Amino acid sequence: MNIIVCIKQVPDTTEIKIDPVTNTLIREGVQSIINPFDLYAIEEAIRLKEQYGGKITAISMGPPQVESALREAISIGADEIVLLTDRKFAGADTWATSLTLAEAIKKAGDYDLILFGQQAIDGDTAQVGPGVAAHLAIPQVGFVKKIESYENNRIIVQRLMEDGYDRIELSLPAALTVVKEINIPRLPSLRGKRNAKKAELKIMTADDLQLDENDIGLNGSPTQVIKIFSPDLRKEGEKHELPADELAEILYAKLKEFGK
């Protein structure tokens, strides 16, 4: 089974900085980590490889510093790594990102399964996985909590729901986004860390993917952030120790004051 895992390097949540001009995240020079949800996708890929054989290719899009996240994926158990990096990719929304990833996957060769974490902690949209599947015209299931079986080029998965789970059968190739209930990610091994240092990194640019500049990056993003700001954390309030009927009158007056 040949598996592609799409991962994202995200800023450490305590280190987020915003470009005041483009209203996008500043990633260069910022302490970053592998998106925590993607670690579950990497782990599930390793478990499938251990059971059925095959190869794991980790792909990510971002600035050159994303190489460290990809090498970490090697240290955990991935076999090959691909970095999509180009200034033309900067500012991409989920549509432009999924298009770029899909084109890279097409050029990666034969694959059976594409795995994603359920969402990225810096955006929380959960749109890139389904978006890639749509661009590739392959079936997809989100919020997968268990892969039950793989046989005759078909898999059966459990999709997490509020009141339990759905049991779904898919033909391959297919894309899945996985939730943290699916496994417990392993730590990098010493051998894995050695492999990570010498692993070959394949780099692909916009020219390599032969994508129109109007379809990628900020230019190709249908959704753009108009304004971003930190909320005003005011802690104003009043304290009253009065009988219930008098408190009710005060509350009623306040509600009228705020137009409720």
pLDDT digits (tens, 9 = 90+) for 12-29: 765 566 666 766 666 666
Q: pLDDT at residue 48 above 90?
A: yes
| Cα gap 51→20, rounded to integer Å | 48
Is 225 a domain residue? no
- 249 in a structural domain: no
User: How confident is the model over 237-259, as pLDDT tens digits?
Assistant: 788 888 999 899 988 888 888 77
Is residue 31 included in any domain, yes or no?
yes
Determine the pLDDT at residue 32.
Answer: 83
Which pLDDT belongs to residue 199?
95
Region 222-243 average pLDDT: 76
Residue 237 lies in a domain: no
| pLDDT for the residue numbered 260 | 52
Structure tokens at 8: 């994202």
Residue 138's domain comprises 2-215
Place of tokens 């749109």: 127
Cα separation, 202 vs 197, in Å, equals: 14
| Position 129 in a domain | yes
Distance CA 141, CA 174 (A): 8
Q: Which two tokens stand for residue 239?
A: 């304290």
Q: What is the pLDDT of residue 218?
A: 87
Residues 2, 196, 55: CA angle, nearest 5 degrees: 10
Q: Which two tokens stand for residue 122?
A: 């810096």
Residue 260, judged by CB atoms within 10 A of its CB (0-12, 13-18, 19+), counts as exposed
**Strands, E assignment, 72-184:** 80-84, 113-117, 140-151, 154-161, 164-171, 174-178
Task: Report the SS3 class of residue 193.
Answer: helix
Helices (H), 79-237: 94-107, 128-136, 190-198, 206-209
Poorest-confidence range of 23-37, 158-172, 181-195?
23-37
67 in any annotated domain: yes
Q: How many domains does the chain have?
A: 1
* pLDDT attached to residue 156: 97
Asked whether residue 254 is domain-assigned, the answer is no
- Answer whether residue 220 is part of any domain: no
Higher pLDDT, 228 or 215: 215
CATH number at residue 88: 3.40.50.620
Cα-only R_g, the chain: 22
Please indicate whether residue 11 or residue 99 has the higher confidence score (pLDDT). Answer: 99
Task: Tell me the pLDDT of the chain averaged across its residues.
Answer: 90
Model pTM score: 0.82
Residue 30's pLDDT is 66
